[in-house]
């Protein structure tokens, strides 16, 4: 599939007219029409309803439009990132981290050392599924991943089997929190012997933190009834829902410490918390000298903190 076809399709959707879309794309109308037809032939379905004025999309066209925009955005972001990396040089260290880890541990623990040592880093703060971080490192899309680790997680298994090197930077605490009630306690809490289900703001199946939440519920709080109000891939989204009072949920303490200190959040039950390790993984076969330098700096920093 030609990327030009996707841009043609978006132009046609915006203009709702073949002539105007062809003019916008700086191509003759017959050539433009042939390219749209080629796209439909490639997909195997009609995308444009040509019997209506202005033109409309078929049901398949509506579905394809949303995916086309994702493909174009991914394509443009990839081009931009490749150009950035090429301009910065071969020794740029490419990190991949979730949004919550970027906001907490990357900025606090990694960025200062990189800046101090004059090391160039390229950070991809992303909402990837957990196993996509592993694939990205295995395939060389990034040099280092910054991730949570807990014994209940299994998505990092392939890296450990392949003897990828890891470094534990620090630990965090994964705690159940709720918005604070007027009496200063947790607005939503587990009550011994209660048959009422507690509203839970959960993590989606693609989230690395989902398995840790399930560990807490099954191992630390067996038999407690909950009903899932919402599922999110990102801890920041779970936090926002807690802030709005939709229920309780588990969060890394570093992400909600300020809210707890100010009295906006309350920990539901300290006993239901569990420790998380903050780990960096890298391929030991990497030949980047800057990565070796930064790795040693981070190792020394972690040892001092311990």
pLDDT digits (tens, 9 = 90+) for 227-285: 888 888 889 999 999 999 999 999 999 999 999 999 999 999 888 899 999 999 999 88
Name the residue with higher pLDDT: 122 or 61.
Answer: 61
| pLDDT score of 43 | 85
* Tens of pLDDT, residues 6-41: 899 999 999 999 999 999 889 999 999 999 999 889
Query: What is the pLDDT confidence band of residue 166, given thresholds at 50, 70 and 90?
Result: very high
Q: Which of 51-60, 75-84, 152-161 has the highest mean pLDDT?
A: 152-161
**How high is the pLDDT of residue 194?**
64
Tokens of 89: 């040089």
pLDDT of res. 196? 77
pLDDT surpassing 60 at residue 94? yes
Tokens of 84: 């950035």
Least confident of 31-45, 133-147, 186-200: 186-200
Rg (CA), the chain: 24
**Directed axis angle between helix 3-15 and helix 29-43, to 10°?**
110
d(CA 288, CA 90): 8
93 — phi, psi (to 5°)? -90, 120
What is the spatial distance between Cα 163 and Cα 270, in angstroms, rounded to a whole number?
Answer: 35
Q: Which H or E element spans position 17? A: none
Distance CA 98, CA 243 (A): 20
pLDDT reading at 89 higher than 60 = no
Task: Answer yes or no: is pLDDT of 88 > 70.
Answer: no
How far is residue 123's CA from residue 34's CA, in Å, rounded to a whole number?
41
Average pLDDT over the chain, rounded to whole? 87
Assigned token pair, 260:
């707890």
Residue 220 has pLDDT above 80, yes or no: no
More confident residue, 192 or 153: 153
């Amino acid at each position: 599939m030609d990327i030009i076809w996707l841009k043609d399709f978006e132009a046609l959707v915006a203009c709702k007219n073949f002539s105007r879309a062809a003019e916008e794309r700086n191509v003759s109308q017959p050539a433009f029409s042939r390219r749209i037809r080629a796209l439909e032939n490639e997909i195997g379905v009609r995308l444009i309803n040509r019997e209506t004025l202005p033109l409309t999309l078929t049901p398949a066209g509506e579905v394809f439009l949303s995916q086309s925009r994702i493909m174009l955005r991914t394509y443009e972001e990839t081009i931009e990132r490749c150009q950035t990396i090429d301009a910065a040089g071969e020794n740029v260290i490419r990190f991949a981290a979730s949004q919550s880890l970027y906001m907490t541990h990357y900025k606090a623990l990694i960025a200062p050392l990189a800046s101090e040592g004059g090391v160039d880093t390229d950070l991809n703060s992303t909402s990837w599924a957990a196993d996509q971080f592993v694939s990205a490192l295995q395939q060389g899309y990034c040099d280092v991943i910054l991730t949570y680790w807990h014994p209940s997680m299994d998505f990092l298994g392939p890296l450990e089997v392949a003897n990828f090197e890891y470094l534990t930077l620090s630990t965090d605490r994964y705690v159940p929190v709720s918005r604070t009630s007027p009496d200063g306690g947790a607005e939503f809490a587990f009550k011994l012997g209660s048959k009422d289900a507690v509203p839970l703001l959960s993590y989606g199946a693609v989230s690395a933190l989902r398995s840790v939440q399930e560990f807490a519920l099954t191992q630390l709080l067996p038999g407690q009834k909950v009903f899932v109000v919402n599922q999110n891939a990102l801890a920041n989204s779970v936090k926002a829902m807690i802030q709005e009072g939709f229920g309780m949920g588990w969060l890394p303490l570093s992400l909600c410490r300020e809210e707890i200190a100010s009295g906006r959040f309350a920990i539901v039950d300290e006993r239901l918390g569990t420790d998380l390790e903050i780990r960096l993984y890298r391929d030991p076969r990497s030949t980047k000298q800057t990565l070796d330098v930064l790795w040693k700096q981070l190792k020394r920093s972690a040892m001092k903190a311990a």
